[in-house]
Structure 1
Amino acid sequence: MGIGDNYFFVKVTDKVVVHAEQPWNDHWLPFTNLDLLVPPFDVGSFFCYKKPSHGSFPDLLNTLKASLSRALSLYYPLADVELKELNLYNPDESIEGKLMPKKLHGVLAIQGEQLNKLQLVASENGQRRSKLEAFTSFLWKIVALSMEDSGNHNKLCNVALAVDGRRRLSEGDGEEKEKLRASHFGNVLSMPSGSKTSQELKEMSLSTIATDVHKFLQTATTKDHFLDLIDWVEERRSQPLVAIAFASKEMSVMVSSGTRFHTNGDMDFGWGKVVFGSCHMA
């Protein structure tokens, strides 16, 4: 890996397939009803570590291979560039094709400081909006503006939010069931969505858009909603199912905060804990 004036590059010198350390017997978990509503997303994760103070680079590679063999997980190693040199303002430049395989569409990075400003603007109508609601409103509007600028006038533009139902499904059931549902492997998601034309969104203020986002988001924040959703899928399991957000051929974007993606504390491959990690999805 090397660093230029305003960029860095990664040179692949070798590719190695890491096999499981022990023979593995297949163990299949059935889909839950809520898994059936989520399409197969290509989501990659990358993790950054402090450079170890001991051991040669070949030794580190051997440690990584051994850890991967035991973990049976895919990991993209980061070489010796300092984290401060990565231009995380532009994920397409810093991540795609380097830390992660190149994808067909880009991703957007936004700083905490700017997010606070967005939240203030989104709350101008007197109702405080969350950072997630503010960012979703902002993204919805700039996608609509891009559509208008590219000649797709007055076309439908959909936005969806991923809502985690683990905590909501365990409301009132006691601490034991709360912990059990929190550790559930699989999707416990609902994806409420909104739909407006690009022209409508162009003319609306951010706070007005945020009010609409808040309204459709609130429909998916109760225990009853998730219980009803499970029953709804059960009645239709023989049919192909997909969330409304992904059923349309119109422009659609999905937002997920990812704050409950608890892996960083466990990703130790032999030289310490993760100091920075992120997901890359397009």
Structure 2
Amino acid sequence: MVKQERVSTVTVAAVSTVAPALPMQEHRLPLSNLDLILPPIDVGVFFCYDADPAGGRSHQPVAAVLKAALAKTLVAYYPLAGEVVANAAGEPELLCSGRGVDVAEAAADGTVLRDLRLGLPDESVEPLVPKKKAGVMSVQVTKFKCGGAVVGCTFDHRVCDAYSFNMFLVAWAAAASGSSAPPAPCFHRSFLAPREPAAAPLRTAGSLADRLFVPVSRAPALPDTATANRIYRVSAADVAALQASAGAGRTKLEAFTAHLWGLHAKAAAASRRQQPRSCCMGVVVDGRSRLRRDGAMGAYFGNVLTIPYGVMGTGALGEMALADVAGDVHRWVAEAATGEHFRELVDWVEAQRPEPTVARAYLGRGHGGEDAMACVVSSGMRLPLGEVDFGWGRPAFASYQFPWPGGAGYVMPMPSARGDGDWVVYVHAALEVVEVMEAEPTVFRALESSYVFDRSGELN
């Protein structure tokens, strides 16, 4: 087995700001009501390229290729080159100023890419994904002594969701590799305009939106929870087994979420310290195809998300069969996955403005208001690994990186770069939950270097 290690030292040699290749008229772009439900948090994503990018098609330095392509791509994706500022009401909005994106060029001194302990992202990944200091987005390109490279990106979640950022990544890679440009993004806020704003308070009182979100002033204080960050692999066989156990008509994500919910109950029961009596599990649902079934929102850039959730006592949850738990997940996900709910949510936010709001799924509360162990699952299965090829081949590994400050867990499954149906799962969860994950014999498996970089190896 290859010894894995943390990055010894990452040295940033230069930082430059890449502006759009064409000048633009400075203007302000309001955030939509569905952008406004997001707190000011940053999301990271990174891509590992094992082959020597400098020896690829262009024979140009990696950073030079990426920066030239970035300048071209920011012409269409100009909000990423702007800044988030406050409007007269104190709400965030986009200043499309053409400021640009900060790009750091770094080197991992004395480290070979395939020796990274990717399963422990606090050690291995944290130095490779930039901390955004200004603007909407930042990039870091880190070269390793083996010739490999990691491209890390950080973006402001208030400006876009993972679906939107995936569109940008594909366009950026196409510009770098000389491939055909994908369709341009759409920023039409009219898709998410409220209906009759004056009537919004009456129409949304007691609605599903009212049950899933709450104004910040009415949100309870979050419990102080010790958390850990991990990246696991889940085999295609285990994914299929979970789906089969969940029963007919259940998706892979519903089955996975049900299994994860059960692990939270086990963690609460096994803990040596006092734990909540309930477990709260949420799922992020994209609304593009729900709001417009004609595909008109397929290129929409922004947030179009809601977060339904369920709460169950740890005792009852621990005794239920996976199929029964998956049925409950399916029920509350299906209730929110409708165009009417998303239209109602837009109206609900309008009724609260300018006060910010928060998803109740993150707050960790049971039906009686008691503390609950909380977790949110967000699907990263649309991460376009095969299309993030900057001219030197597809990545050997990729993952989101989202170690947020909240006590609630956050779990994001995404496709393995091996392309064999396996999943890579980013986990930010309570320590007790991580211990239970690692104690079970199947599903959440350690991410070994041989799995990532030895494509010919057979791992079960």
Common fold, TM-score beyond 0.5? yes
**CA-CA distance at 1:92 after TM superposition:** 3.5
Which residue in the other structure is 1:17 paired with?
15
Q: Of 82, 97, 102, which residue of structure 1 is paired with 2:126?
A: 97
Measured in 2, the distance between the counterparts of 1:143 and 1:57 equals 50
> Is 2:233 the partner of 1:110?
yes
**CA-CA distance at 1:143 after TM superposition:** 1.9
39-48 or 22-31: bigger deviation:
22-31
Which residue in the other structure is 1:122 paired with?
246
> Is 2:258 the partner of 1:137?
yes
Paired AA for residue 97 in structure 1:
E
Deviations 1:79-130 (A, max 9, x none): 78465x6565x3447744354479963134232332122212222xxx3311
Which residue in the other structure is 2:424 paired with?
none
Listed as ranges, the matches of 1:140-219 within 5 Å are 140-150=261-271, 151-153=273-275, 155-171=277-293, 174=294, 178=295, 180-219=296-335
Which residue in the other structure is 1:39 paired with?
39
Measured in 1, the distance between the counterparts of 2:103 and 2:260 equals 30
Paired AA for residue 117 in structure 1:
A
Measured in 1, the distance between the counterparts of 2:227 and 2:306 equals 26
Structure 2: gaps spanning 5 or more residues: 75-99, 132-225, 366-370, 404-460
145-154 or 191-200: bigger deviation:
145-154
Contact 1:153 1:198 in 2 (8 A): no
**CA-CA distance at 1:192 after TM superposition:** 0.5
> Is 2:352 the partner of 1:236?
yes
Q: What value does the CA root-mean-square deviation take over the aligned residues?
A: 3.6
Contact 2:4 2:116 in 1 (8 A): no
Measured in 1, the distance between the counterparts of 2:350 and 2:252 equals 34
Measured in 1, the distance between the counterparts of 2:301 and 2:250 equals 30
> Is 2:175 the partner of 1:52?
no
Q: In the superposition, relative to structure 1, how do residues 33 and 166 fare at CA in structure 2: closer, same or farther (>3 Å)?
A: same
Deviations 1:20-69 (A, max 9, x none): 25688755421211122223343211012332372799934554555566
Q: In the superposition, relative to structure 1, how do residues 74 and 106 fare at CA in structure 2: closer, same or farther (>3 Å)?
A: farther
**CA-CA distance at 1:132 after TM superposition:** 0.3
Paired AA for residue 155 in structure 1:
R
Deviations 1:184-214 (A, max 9, x none): 2211011100011222222222221111111
Which residue in the other structure is 2:456 paired with?
none
Q: Of 256, 259, 262, which residue of structure 1 is paired with 2:381?
A: 259
Paired AA for residue 7 in structure 2:
F
Q: In the superposition, relative to structure 1, how do residues 170 and 64 fare at CA in structure 2: closer, same or farther (>3 Å)?
A: closer
Which residue in the other structure is 1:280 paired with?
401
Identity score, percent: 35
198-207 or 47-56: bigger deviation:
47-56
Q: In the superposition, relative to structure 1, how do residues 229 and 64 fare at CA in structure 2: closer, same or farther (>3 Å)?
A: closer
Which residue in the other structure is 2:215 paired with?
none
Give the secondary-structure state (helix, strand or coil) at the position aligned to 1:182. Answer: coil
**CA-CA distance at 1:74 after TM superposition:** 6.3
**CA-CA distance at 1:131 after TM superposition:** 0.7
**CA-CA distance at 1:248 after TM superposition:** 4.0
Contact 2:269 2:314 in 1 (8 A): yes
Give the secondary-structure state (helix, strand or coil) at the position aligned to 2:282. Answer: strand
Give the secondary-structure state (helix, strand or coil) at the position aligned to 1:259. Answer: coil
TM-score w.r.t. structure 1 length? 0.77
Paired AA for residue 341 in structure 2:
H
Paired AA for residue 193 in structure 1:
Y
Paired AA for residue 269 in structure 2:
E
Measured in 2, the distance between the counterparts of 1:220 and 1:232 equals 14
Paired AA for residue 167 in structure 1:
S
198-207 or 181-190: bigger deviation:
198-207
Deviations 1:193-242 (A, max 9, x none): 00112222222222211111111111011111211221222222233322
Measured in 2, the distance between the counterparts of 1:141 and 1:95 equals 29
155-164 or 91-100: bigger deviation:
91-100
**CA-CA distance at 1:154 after TM superposition:** 5.2
**CA-CA distance at 1:267 after TM superposition:** 6.0
**CA-CA distance at 1:141 after TM superposition:** 1.4
Give the secondary-structure state (helix, strand or coil) at the position aligned to 1:40. Answer: coil
Contact 1:156 1:197 in 2 (8 A): yes
